[in-house]
């Protein structure tokens, strides 16, 4: 097969041993690279938390991330051993995982390592060890003096509207604001003359301040890493905002270097203030050996043992799936025409709903494709002051879609107006509204309902409004540098891309549904993480409606016909939105259907409603507090209640347990119970023999599904450092982040409530195509290839003719034959769903 | 019907005890226990208040239980019910009930589910004891329960560093409040020659007569009451503890620091109203403190960029106004204001996570870019200064903790350069010598004996300061605290001839506490756990039983109402004369430091770090 291709990371080379001289520019670049890249809350998008290590093979990367930054990026030995005793790791998978590697040849030695008792905690991470010396030598806690000042100054500067009056210097850049306050306020930040002079001097460099604090130039870089990774949340936020200030609605100018300078000066000021001239640079207290932080190191046997466990755990699950997929039969040619077709998002949460729809109406067929439906644009709701991006994060759209004629009303809730917190209004309010709060609290506990604070997916776009989908052909409008609406050519390209990419090239049903998805949650700062990732954390309703409108456009259809896509006259596309939390679907522009279409549509709506009830029931098996055995309609009501309950930290479980992504025809998975663990992208290799559409699919699958998968993975393995911890004590900071309590670091990653049921397994992408085509396709995009080559995502290809499985390794494809002999069968999905709360093994459904 | 009042205390107490026995992961049983008991409680509260209103809202007083009697000294539990208790009881019962229902689902699967509900029930027990208390002694029991359960709720996430540090901060402020109340009790003994009940304070003639004879004493008592109230209600200059208490799960922050706990200061003022209402100067001071707090805290609230700190400071500023209303004599207004503020802040905190959705949406549709502000130099200077002062919370936190803490450390290390072990040895020798002197009086003259009380008090403070500064040996730190208590006991014995039973009573909790504590430390050493005090060790996860026992040891050492030490403390103080300002001040300082040293010891060993993480330790800045 194709030999290994050496793809160089697009990032810089990390192995230049430059610890002898300090290069500010280079160090800052490194810092920005390694700091968490999490955007403000309302722009939350899943990404690989350890993106900075992606240029390394997975095993090496997590070992390095642990040693240097103290991240626990995989399960521990004890956890794997526990999984093994529970039977969740198959002995066969363990044996295979051992055989596949060549570092630990001797089985008894390897066995000893695998089942070793863990006693000693790992060594302390490198980053953080230098700055600790302050505490050792001066017996005082520098953090406690520096962090409160730093965090509140940053918080106040970046604040988007929590404070009644924000920082008076918000219109300046951060460092100029600090200078202004130091100069013109009667009370500055600093009392130490040196700190003041450094701040007000325009030429101050980090090196100068570091000279005083650290002394030895070879330690500067590590000291900066120590300071910034003392509060990775804040530093990461600043680095992200420096890169893209537009992420805040009310923009600010801030740079990481300014934050660092300010922080170092606070340190200097604190030391001067508390110890006068009784302190000296850190390197003068003891001889601290400079270290090359990210230098590669030999891979230890213990780490290899963990890698074996990791693979064994993953293949204990994958193997069942692969067995099921390789057994799947191609669909027989249908005699009856399809009753309707429905497109859903690739999202793992749509996996079960599609199954129910198909079971309830066996003539219906469903498709999966990224939920922006190929239509990339900015959306501006009526009266909106900003544009919201409706496509995957890396795409930069050139088109604007505007909402017109909305009748949406904004309900006010006085509990969120800041007047409550002012003195005199507060005096009146607390004596009047105060008692109203008691009532509201009572009702929100005993009869939860929608409130202005609920983030509801259906509110994103008004039903009665219209959208500017098609551009004015005669007089092209522009707004904010964007073209208003799509041209006919652009629209035809979008529609063709989706139809050909998913393999629906003929046999169009009279009604075709484009179903985007969104979510509803209350009291949830991470609300955007629940929405459609392919729409940059917005509900996919707008995209679905835009696509439907494009596909219904007469001129578009004639262009499509030229390219071989003959959509019959009577065929109509309908945009819709599935709320994954509430399990409700709302359909758009039904008024435009003719009477007979309306009638047919109403019959389909019944199918959807029934499917939604069943879907709610299936989801409920993970909710301990809802009995799954009750009738579906009853459970659905409980599920609806969850979405608007103030006290429900798990309105839905989002992408938890995701593990797969199937790129192929529906026949591969139609009769498999995959337990909502699979992303599904419809794809027909016959339509795309050269892998042109496949490339597009994999380019989206790797960062979107891979990003989601790894964010869950790492948040689960180290919820303390890579996740956000429990959301119960979270405190909203400036509307852009959350912290624990009032003076903590910003928390990045996912809260424990989102990941607790997640099994940390990497994504397995299964593609139905010829291995050589897949390989040729992948190597065309180095960025995508890196994900697979470094094993951040697993890849298995199923050969369309022989039905044999081929697994990708860094040296090419190899045959894979599952050790699972038989998969369990189930007659009724409902009984299967009621049977247990944990992950259900892959099961064949008899239909 | 009055008997029901006891139920208000017993019901949550019983629920608390039972909840400790329910197995850890039986969420349903735990939640049901709490919700059922609190709903029954709420029902009885309504019946009782209905009956009370029907009966013409009489002031009820029940003398419940004499705990200790010796000569004319009597320590008894007493309950009292009037409109103030009625409002506080109603608001407290209603909110606690609603929040317990809220938390049933909200805390689902959280580690420490049982701990949360147990602590909440314990807190509520303390709250009812306090608001129904008929005398200072009973009130003090509730007060202490509130203090320790607050500590436990703030440090709910005991594996993290910040919650534990902040819990210690709050506990130290509470300890200052404790001193206010203890001194009030001490002074009252001397003023009334009995443990005065609140119902007697309503006797205008008695109060007026006594106060006209001892007007200075009356003022001092009022000031002590104010000290206790200000500390507990986060008034100036103690305000900075309130936002820092918001470390637990949001519902506990909402109900306790948003509403119930923080309004207790106002309650004490209302409760003692008949005592100080005729002291005009005192009333002006109360009102002024309220106004200053309102001014300062609303300024701070203005610039807070985080939801919880803003609500906390706004709440404190409203309580400032409540203080003013109380000082002006508008009792009903104050009560309504309390109830409204409590409800509002609870709700605001509970929905604070929604702030993002609501305000981002609001901003998306209604954003107006800020106008450029004019650059008048002087106006700007004032504006900037005002901003800086408020942003830095008027430097209250840094003053309270860094300044005071650093001076304590300085005093411990620099003023007394001798090592902790030498100090322990020296103090022990002095105690033995002092004890001998007491039983076999030599005749070195009266003079020497006269200085003994102060000498031993100072020695006690030295010991406890050393304990605070100790960074290596936990056992040493513990023993130093014990010697502090022994010194206090000796100091009092030299001060006045009295029944030694009083001292035994005092030491009845101290000595067993010491032995228990040392036992736990020895056991931990055997288990190879590191017990130095340089950092937080977070041993509670690994050794939960040891952690619980050590907490009990610390509590008995601190004179918490689980051992007779608690009564002993009260009696011991009564042997200090009203004119011995030095002795009482030193004893009070020793009391504050002792509590802080104990809680630090417990926290360093058992909290603040997560030893189970792969790389040890916890995320330091979260």
Question: Would you call B375 an interface residue with chain A, using a CB distance cutoff of 8 Å?
Answer: no
Determine the pLDDT at residue B375. Answer: 67
Question: What whole-number distance in Å separates Cα of residue A790 and Cα of residue A719?
Answer: 24
The confidence band for A233, taking pLDDT boundaries of 50, 70 and 90, is very high
Q: Classify A340 as helix, strand or coil.
A: strand
Residues of A in contact with B615 (CB under 8 A): 66, 70, 72, 121-125
CB nearest B308 (choices: A124, A231, A742): A742
Instruction: Note the pLDDT of residue B484.
Output: 92
- On chain A, the residues whose CB falls within 8 A of the CB of B248 are 729
Backbone angles phi, psi at A573, to 5 degrees: -95, 140
Place of tokens 């929040």: B99
Strands of B311-450, DSSP E: none
Q: Which band of pLDDT confidence, cut at 50, 70 and 90, is reported for residue A14?
A: very low
Q: What pLDDT shows up at residue B89?
A: 97
Q: Which residue of A has its CA nearest to B28?
A: A625
Name the most confidently modeled range: A598-602, A827-831, B592-596.
A598-602
Residue with tokens 């985080």: B306
- How many CB atoms sit inside 10 A of residue A91's CB? 12
Please tell me the distance from the alpha carbon of residue A653 to that of residue A347, in angstroms, as a whole number. 13
10 Å Cβ neighbour count for A287? 7
Least confident of A415-429, A496-510, A523-537, A622-636: A415-429
Q: At what angle are helices A692-701 and A771-778 packed, to 10 degrees? A: 60
B169 touches chain A (CB under 8 A): no
pLDDT of residue A1: 33
A160·B363 Cβ contact <8 A: yes
B159 to chain A nearest CA, in Å?
Answer: 10
Q: State the pTM of this model.
A: 0.94
Interface of A with B in 745-774 (CB under 8 A): 745, 747, 753, 756
Instruction: Kindly tell me if the per-residue pLDDT of A34 is higher than 90.
Output: yes
C-alpha pair distances (Å), A357 with each of A379, A607, A608, A660:
30, 7, 6, 21
By C-alpha distance, which of B356, B81, B75 is closest to B188? B75
CB contact under 8 A, A735 and B336: no
Put simply, the answer to whether A732 touches B353 (Cβ < 8 Å) is yes
The partner residue sitting opposite A647, judged by closest CB among B106, B363, B622, is: B106
Cα A130 to Cα A133: distance, rounded to the nearest angstrom? 6
Q: Give the pLDDT confidence of B263-298 residue by residue, as tens digits.
A: 999 999 999 999 999 999 999 999 999 999 999 999
For residues A639-650, give the mean pLDDT: 93
Determine whether the interchain pair B110/A646 forms a contact, defined as Cβ–Cβ distance below 8 Å. no
Out of B244, B306, B314, the one facing A420 most closely (by C-beta) is B314
Given this model, what pLDDT does residue B62 score? 86
Q: Taking CB atoms and an 8 Å limit, are A453 and B357 in contact across chains? A: yes
If 0-12 CB within 10 Å is exposed, 13-18 middle and 19+ buried, where does residue B453 land?
A: buried
Lookup: tokens for A216: 């030895």
Contact A501, A693 (CB under 8 A): yes
Angle at A78 between CA A76 and CA A83, to 5 degrees: 95
pLDDT of residue A4: 37
Best of B29, B239, B255, B358 to mutate (most A CBs within 10 Å, chain A): B358
The answer to whether the CB atoms of A732 and B356 lie below 8 A apart is yes
**For range A1-19, the mean pLDDT:** 40
Residues A393 and A536 sit within 8 Å (Cβ to Cβ): yes
Residue A826 pLDDT? 92
Residues from chain A contacting residue B537 (CB–CB below 8 Å): none
Pick from B346, B352, B357: which is nearest to A441 by CB? B346
With beta carbons less than 8 A apart as the criterion, state whether A536 and A389 touch.
yes
Would the pLDDT of B618 be above 80? no
Alpha-helical regions (H) of A101-191: 107-114, 133-138, 142-158, 174-184
- In this structure, the number of other CB atoms found within 10 A of the CB of residue B281 comes to 10
Q: What is the CA radius of gyration of chain B?
A: 25
Cβ–Cβ contact A144 with B under 8 A:
yes
Across the A:B interface, residue pairs with CB atoms under 8 Å apart total: 344
pLDDT number for residue B530: 81
**pLDDT at A316 (0 to 100):** 97
Residues of B in contact with A170 (CB under 8 A): 370
Interface check for B283 against chain A (CB to CB < 8 A): the answer is: no
- Provide mean pLDDT across the span A157-169: 91
**pLDDT band at residue A2 using 50, 70 and 90 as cut-offs:** very low
> Is residue A47 classed as helix, strand or coil in its secondary structure?
coil
| Confidence band of A119 (pLDDT split at 50, 70, 90) | low
User: Is B101 in contact with A121 (Cβ distance < 8 A)?
Assistant: no
A412 pLDDT band, cuts 50/70/90, is confident
For position B374, what pLDDT does the model report?
A: 65
Rounded Cα gap, residues B294 and B320, in angstroms: 5
Nearest to B201 by CA among B111, B134, B274: B274
Is B247 close to A740, i.e. CB distance below 8 A?
yes
Instruction: Please tell me the predicted confidence (pLDDT) of residue B114.
Output: 94
Please say if the pLDDT value at position A19 is more than 60.
Answer: no
B103 contacts A647? CB cut-off 8 A: yes
Answer for the pair B470, B477: CB distance below 8 angstroms, yes or no: yes
Counted residue by residue, chain B has a size of 622
Q: Which of A 175-234 lie inside 8 A of B, CB atoms?
A: 180-181, 184-189, 230-231, 233
Close Cβ partners of B314 (under 8 Å, ≥ 6 residues apart): A420, A421, A422, A426, B297, B298, B301, B345
Instruction: Report DSSP letters for B45-102, one per residue.
Output: HHHHHHHHHHTT---EEEEEEEEEEETTEEEEEEEEESHHHHHHHHHHHHHHHHHHHH
Q: Quickly state the pLDDT bin for A847 (edges 50, 70, 90).
A: low
Which member of B318, B352, B359 has the closest CB to residue A430?
A: B318
Beta bridge partners of A404: A466
Q: How many residues does chain A have?
A: 847
Mapping DSSP to helix (H, G, I), strand (E, B) and coil, where does residue A304 land? helix
What sign does the dihedral A50-A54-A57-A58 (CA atoms) show? positive
User: Is some CB atom of chain B closer than 8 A to the CB atom of A732?
Assistant: yes
Q: What is the mean pLDDT of chain B?
A: 89
In whole numbers, what is the pLDDT of chain A averaged over residues?
Answer: 92
- pLDDT attached to residue B446: 62
| pLDDT the model gives residue B143 | 94
B240 touches A at CB < 8 Å: no
> Which residues does A331 contact at the CB level (< 8 Å), separation at least 6?
A665, A666, A667, A670
- Residues 6+ positions from B94 with CB-CB distance below 8 Å: A438, B42
Residue A794 CA to residue A318 CA, distance in Å, equals 10
Q: Which two tokens stand for residue B451?
A: 């200085």
- Per-residue pLDDT, A7: 36
Inform me whether the pLDDT recorded for B226 exceeds 80.
yes
Tell me the chain A residues in contact with residue B160 when contact means C-beta distances shorter than 8 Å.
Answer: 725, 740
- The closest of B233, B8, B275, B242 to B138, measured between CA atoms, is B8
Residue pair A482/A399 in contact (Cβ under 8 Å)? The answer is yes
Provide the percentage of residues in chain A whose pLDDT is more than 90: 79
Are A445 and B160 inside 8 Å of each other by CB? no
Which of B272, B413, B415, B403 is closest to B331 using CA atoms? B272
CA within 13 Å, CB half, B67: 19
B374 touches chain A (CB under 8 A): no
Which parts of A400-509 fold into alpha helices (H)? Answer: 423-446, 488-502
| Residues in A 442-471 with any Cβ partner in B closer than 8 A | 442, 445-446, 451-455
The beta-carbon neighbor of A185 closest among B108, B165, B381 is B381
A250 to B363: CB separation less than 8 angstroms, yes or no:
yes
pLDDT value of position A6: 37
Tokens of B305: 């960029």
CA-CA-CA-CA dihedral for A152, A155, A159, A162, to nearest 10 = -50
Binary contact (B614, A733; C-beta < 8 A)? no
Residues from chain A that touch B387, judged by Cβ atoms under 8 A, are 165, 167-168, 181, 185
Nearest to B316 by CA among B235, B397, B252: B235
pLDDT at residue A654 greater than cutoff 70: yes
B406, B312 Cβ separation under 8 angstroms: no
| Residue bearing the bigger pLDDT, B365 or B70 | B365
Q: Is A167 on the interface with B (CB under 8 A)?
A: yes
Nearest CA-CA distance, residue B559 and chain A, Å: 30
Its ipTM equals 0.94
CA distances from A620 to A653, B52, B110, B294 (A): 10, 48, 19, 49
Are B249 and A384 an interchain contact pair (Cβ–Cβ within 8 Å)?
A: no
Q: Which residues 375-434 on chain A approach chain B with CB closer than 8 angstroms?
A: 381, 383-386, 388, 410, 413, 415-416, 418, 420-423, 426-427, 429-434
Give the pLDDT of residue A346: 96
Cβ–Cβ below 8 Å for B105 and A645: yes
> Which of chain A's residues have a Cβ under 8 Å away from the Cβ of B384?
168, 180-181, 184-186
A47: distance to nearest CA of chain B, Å?
A: 21
| pLDDT of A11 strictly over 70 | no
Question: Which of B36-45, B160-169, B242-251, B418-427 is predicted least confidently?
Answer: B418-427
d(CA B97, CA B46): 13
C-alpha–C-alpha distance, residues A662 and A797, integer Å: 10
The mean per-residue pLDDT over the stretch A433-458 comes to 89
User: Closest by alpha carbon to B613, among B38, B89, B160, B299?
Assistant: B160
A625 at interface of B, judged by CB pairs closer than 8 A: yes
Sign of CA dihedral A732, A733, A736, A739: negative
| Among candidates A144, A718, A741 on the partner chain, residue whose Cβ is nearest the Cβ of B246 | A741
- pLDDT tens digits, residue range A340-388? 999 999 999 999 999 999 999 999 999 999 999 999 999 999 999 999 9
Suggest the residue from B311, B615, B616 to mutate for an interface test with chain A (most A CBs closer than 10 A): B615
Judge whether B523 and B589 are in contact, CB under 8 Å: no
Helix (H) or strand (E) holding A13: none
| 8 Å CB contact of B364 and A188 | no
What's chain A's Rg over C-alpha atoms? 28
Long-range CB contacts (within 8 A, 24+) of A3-6: A3/A811, A3/A812, A4/A789, A4/A810, A4/A811, A4/A812, A5/A779, A5/A785, A5/A789
Helix (H, G, I), strand (E, B) or coil at B599: helix
pLDDT of residue A10 exceeding 70? no
d(CA A388, CA A383): 13
Residue given tokens 């608007």 in the structure block: A644
Residue of B nearest to A166 (CA): B303
């Amino acid at each position: 097969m194709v030999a290994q291709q050496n793809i160089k990371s697009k990032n810089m080379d990390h192995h230049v041993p430059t610890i002898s001289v300090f290069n500010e520019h280079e160090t800052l670049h490194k810092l920005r690279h390694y700091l968490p890249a999490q955007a403000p809350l309302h722009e939350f998008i899943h990404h690989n938390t350890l993106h900075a290590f992606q240029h390394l093979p997975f095993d090496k990367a997590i070992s390095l991330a642990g040693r240097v930054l103290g991240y626990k990026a995989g399960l521990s030995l004890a956890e794997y051993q526990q999984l093994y005793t529970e039977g969740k790791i198959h002995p066969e998978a363990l044996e295979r995982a051992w055989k596949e590697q060549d570092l630990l040849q001797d089985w008894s030695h390897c066995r000893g390592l695998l089942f070793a008792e863990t006693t000693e905690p790992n060594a302390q991470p490198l980053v953080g060890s230098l700055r600790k010396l302050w505490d050792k030598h001066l017996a005082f806690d520098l953090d406690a003096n520096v962090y409160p000042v730093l965090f509140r100054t940053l918080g106040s500067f970046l604040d988007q509207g929590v404070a009644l009056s924000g920082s008076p210097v918000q219109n300046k850049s951060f460092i100029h604001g600090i200078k202004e306050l130091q100069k013109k306020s009667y009370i500055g930040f600093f009392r130490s003359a040196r700190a003041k002079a450094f701040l007000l001097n325009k030429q101050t460099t980090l090196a100068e301040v570091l000279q005083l604090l650290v002394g030895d130039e070879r330690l500067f870089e590590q000291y900066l890493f120590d300071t910034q990774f003392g509060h990775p949340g804040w530093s990461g936020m600043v680095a992200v905002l420096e890169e893209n200030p537009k992420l805040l609605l009310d923009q600010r100018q801030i740079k990481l270097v300014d934050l660092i300078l300010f922080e170092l000066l606070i340190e200097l000021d604190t030391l001067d203030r508390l110890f006068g001239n009784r302190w000296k640079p850190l390197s003068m207290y003891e001889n601290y050996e400079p270290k090359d932080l990210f230098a590669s190191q030999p891979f230890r046997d213990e780490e290899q043992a963990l890698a074996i466990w990791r693979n064994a755990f993953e293949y204990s699950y994958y193997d069942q799936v692969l067995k099921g997929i390789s057994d799947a039969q191609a669909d027989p040619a249908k005699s009856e025409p399809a009753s309707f077709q429905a497109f859903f998002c690739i999202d793992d949460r749509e996996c079960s709903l599609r199954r129910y729809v198909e079971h309830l109406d066996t003539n219906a067929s469903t498709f999966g494709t990224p939920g922006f439906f190929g239509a990339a644009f900015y959306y501006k709701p009526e009266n909106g002051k900003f544009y919201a991006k409706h496509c995957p994060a890396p795409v930069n759209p050139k088109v604007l879609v505007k909402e017109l004629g909305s009748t949406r009303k904004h309900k006010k809730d006085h509990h969120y107006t800041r007047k409550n917190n002012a003195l005199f209004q507060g005096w009146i309010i607390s004596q009047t509204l105060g008692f109203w709060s008691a009532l509201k609290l009572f009702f929100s506990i005993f009869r939860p309902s929608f409130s202005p604070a609920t983030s509801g997916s259906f509110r994103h776009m008004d039903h009665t409004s219209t959208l500017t989908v098609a551009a004015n052909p005669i007089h092209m409008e522009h707004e904010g540098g964007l073209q208003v609406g799509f041209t006919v050519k652009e629209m035809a390209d979008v529609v063709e891309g989706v139809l050909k990419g998913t393999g629906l090239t003929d046999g169009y049903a009279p009604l075709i549904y484009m179903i985007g998805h969104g979510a509803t949650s209350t009291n949830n700062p991470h609300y955007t993480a629940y929405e459609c990732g392919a729409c940059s954390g917005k509900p996919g309703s707008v995209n679905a409606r835009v696509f439907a409108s494009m596909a219904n456009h007469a001129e578009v259809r004639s262009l499509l016909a030229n390219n071989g896509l003959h959509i019959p006259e009577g065929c109509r596309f309908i945009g819709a939105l599935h709320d994954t939390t509430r399990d409700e679907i709302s359909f758009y522009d039904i008024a435009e259907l003719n009477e007979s279409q309306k009638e047919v549509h109403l019959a389909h709506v019944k199918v959807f409603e029934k499917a939604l009830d069943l879907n709610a029931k299936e989801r409920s098996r993970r909710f301990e507090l809802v009995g799954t055995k009750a009738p579906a309609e009853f459970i659905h009501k409980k599920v609806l209640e969850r979405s608007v309950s103030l006290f429900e930290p798990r309105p839905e479980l989002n992408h938890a347990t995701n593990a797969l992504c199937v790129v192929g025809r529906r026949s591969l998975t139609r009769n498999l119970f995959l337990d909502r663990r699979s992303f599904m992208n419809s794809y027909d290799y016959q339509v795309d023999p050269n892998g042109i559409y496949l490339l597009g699919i994999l380019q989206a699958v790797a960062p979107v599904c891979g990003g989601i998968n790894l964010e869950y993975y790492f948040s689960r393995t180290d919820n303390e450092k890579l996740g956000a911890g429990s959301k119960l004590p979270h405190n909203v900071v400036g509307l852009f982040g959350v912290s624990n309590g009032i003076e903590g670091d910003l928390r990045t990653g996912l809260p424990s409530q989102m990941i607790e049921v997640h099994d940390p397994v990497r994504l397995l992408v299964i593609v139905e195509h010829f291995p050589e085509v897949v390989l040729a396709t992948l190597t065309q995009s180095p960025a995508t290839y890196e994900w697979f080559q470094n094993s951040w995502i697993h890849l298995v290809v199923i050969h369309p003719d022989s039905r044999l499985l081929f697994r990708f390794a860094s040296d090419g494809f190899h045959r894979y034959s599952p050790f699972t002999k038989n998969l369990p069968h189930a007659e009724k999905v409902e009984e299967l769903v009621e049977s247990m709360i944990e992950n259900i093994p892959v099961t064949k459904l008899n239909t | 019907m009055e008997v029901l009042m006891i139920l208000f205390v017993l019901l949550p107490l019983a629920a608390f005890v039972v909840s400790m026995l329910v197995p850890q992961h039986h969420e349903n049983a735990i939640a049901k226990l709490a919700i059922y008991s609190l709903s029954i409680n709420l029902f009885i509260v309504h019946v009782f208040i209905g009956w009370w209103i029907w009966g013409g809202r009489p002031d009820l007083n029940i003398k419940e239980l004499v705990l200790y009697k010796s000569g004319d000294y009597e320590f008894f539990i007493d309950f009292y019910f009037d409109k103030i208790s009625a409002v506080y009881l109603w608001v407290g019962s209603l909110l606690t009930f609603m929040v317990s229902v809220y938390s049933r689902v909200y805390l689902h699967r959280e580690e420490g589910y049982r701990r949360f509900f147990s602590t909440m029930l314990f807190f509520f027990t303390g709250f009812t004891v306090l608001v129904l208390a008929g005398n200072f002694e009973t009130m003090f029991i509730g007060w202490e329960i509130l203090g320790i359960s607050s500590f436990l709720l703030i440090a709910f996430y005991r594996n993290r560093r910040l919650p534990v540090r902040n819990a210690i901060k709050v506990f130290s402020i509470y300890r200052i409040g404790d001193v206010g109340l203890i001194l009030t009790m001490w002074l009252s003994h001397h003023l009334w020659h009995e443990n005065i009940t609140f119902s007697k304070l309503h006797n205008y003639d008695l109060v007026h007569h006594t106060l006209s004879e001892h007007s200075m004493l009356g003022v001092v008592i009022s000031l002590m009451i104010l000290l206790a109230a200000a500390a507990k209600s986060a008034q100036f200059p103690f305000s900075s503890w309130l936002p820092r208490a918001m470390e637990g799960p949001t519902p506990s922050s909402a109900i306790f620091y948003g509403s119930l706990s923080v309004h207790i200061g106002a309650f004490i003022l209302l409760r003692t109203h008949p005592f100080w209402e005729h002291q005009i100067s005192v009333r002006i001071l109360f009102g002024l403190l309220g106004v200053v707090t309102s001014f300062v805290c609303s300024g701070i609230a203005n610039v807070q960029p985080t939801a919880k700190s803003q609500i906390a400071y706004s709440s404190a500023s409203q309580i400032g106004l409540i203080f003013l209303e109380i000082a002006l004599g508008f009792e009903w207004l104050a009560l309504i204001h309390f109830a409204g503020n409590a409800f509002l802040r609870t709700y605001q905190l509970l929905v604070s996570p929604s702030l993002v959705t609501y305000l981002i949406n609001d901003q998306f549709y209604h954003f107006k870019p800020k106008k450029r502000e004019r650059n008048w130099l002087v106006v700007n200077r004032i504006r900037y200064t005002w901003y800086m002062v408020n942003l830095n919370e008027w430097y209250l936190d840094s003053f309270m903790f860094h300044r005071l803490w650093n001076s304590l450390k300085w005093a411990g290390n620099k003023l007394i350069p001798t090592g902790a072990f030498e100090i322990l040895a020296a103090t022990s020798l002095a105690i033995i010598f002092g004890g001998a002197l007491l039983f076999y009086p030599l005749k070195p003259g009266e003079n020497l004996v006269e200085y003994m009380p102060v000498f031993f008090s100072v020695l006690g403070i030295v010991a406890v300061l050393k304990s605070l500064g100790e960074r290596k040996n936990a056992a040493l730190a513990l023993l130093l605290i014990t010697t502090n208590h022994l010194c206090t006991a000796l100091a009092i014995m030299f001060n006045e001839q009295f029944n030694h039973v009083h001292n035994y009573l005092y030491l009845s909790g101290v000595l067993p506490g010491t032995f228990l504590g040392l036992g736990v430390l020895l056991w931990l050493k055997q288990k190879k756990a590191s017990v130095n005090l340089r950092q937080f060790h977070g041993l509670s996860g690994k050794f939960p039983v040891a952690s619980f026992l050590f907490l009990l040891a610390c509590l008995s050492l601190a004179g918490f109402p689980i051992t007779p030490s608690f009564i002993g403390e009260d009696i011991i103080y009564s042997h200090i004369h009203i004119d011995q300002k030095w002795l009482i001040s030193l004893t009070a300082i020793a009391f504050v430091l002792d509590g802080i040293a104990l809680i630090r010891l417990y926290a360093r060993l058992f909290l603040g770090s997560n030893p189970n993480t792969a790389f040890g330790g916890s995320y330091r800045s979260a």
